[in-house]
């Protein structure tokens, strides 16, 4: 079996290529990396979420998310706060600037990647999305599928 016949390899390689391209275009046009964008997306659909939840949803360490959150805070894109009900928890929300930048990043990525997806019919895109959601659920467990809700 060659690498091109291995679904896992092809998906992993495609994911790596898309991540790298996304990171480059976002850095060039908005000054944020793809890792930061993913955090902004989680916050867009899950306002006032704990940093631990962000890390869990993205499959990253809390330390990694914490570093990215510091960068996003310094750019005034997010506001981390201490949870008034539990002083040991940090809750993070998007600022208005962060909301605008997230929308701009979505538009940039959709436009940038559209030639790739334009090669597929609507039916093919729907089938791939459905298949990817099934595989994601199987790989992560049903309780972690909320990351795909953004």
9-26 residues labelled b (16+ CB within 10 A) or e (exposed): eeeeeeeeeeeeebbebb
In a domain, 88, yes or no: yes
In a domain, 125, yes or no: no
In a domain, 129, yes or no: no
The string of DSSP codes covering 70-124 is HHHHHTTSEEEEEETTEEEEEEEEE-HHHHHHHHHHHHHHHHHHHHHHTTS-HHH
In a domain, 137, yes or no: no
In a domain, 146, yes or no: no
The residues near 26 (Cβ < 8 Å, ≥ 6 apart) are: 32, 33, 34, 36, 37, 105, 108, 109
Which residue did the predictor score with more confidence, 37 or 89? 37
pLDDT digits (tens, 9 = 90+) for 31-85: 999 999 999 999 998 887 888 888 988 888 989 998 999 999 999 999 988 878 8
pLDDT digits (tens, 9 = 90+) for 22-33: 999 999 999 999
β-bridge partners, 86: 83
In a domain, 97, yes or no: yes
| pTM score above 0.85 | no
Number of domains within the chain = 1
CATH number at residue 84: 1.10.10.10
Tokens of 91: 């809750």
Give the residue numbers spanning the domain of 18.
3-119
In a domain, 135, yes or no: no
In a domain, 69, yes or no: yes
């Amino acid at each position: 079996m060659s690498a091109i016949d291995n679904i896992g390899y092809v998906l992993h390689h495609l994911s790596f290529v898309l991540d790298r391209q996304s990171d480059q275009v976002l850095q060039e046009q908005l000054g944020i990396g793809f890792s930061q964008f993913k955090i902004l997306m989680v916050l867009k659909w899950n306002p006032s979420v704990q940093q631990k939840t962000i890390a869990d949803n993205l499959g990253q360490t809390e330390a990694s998310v914490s570093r990215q959150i510091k960068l996003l805070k310094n750019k005034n894109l997010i506001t981390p706060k201490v949870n008034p009900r539990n002083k040991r928890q940090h809750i993070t929300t998007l600022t208005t600037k962060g909301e605008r930048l997230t929308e701009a990043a979505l538009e940039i990525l959709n436009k940038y990647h559209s030639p790739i997806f334009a090669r597929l019919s609507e039916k093919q895109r729907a089938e791939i999305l459905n298949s990817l959601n099934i595989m994601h659920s199987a790989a992560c467990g049903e309780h972690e599928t909320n990351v795909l809700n953004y």
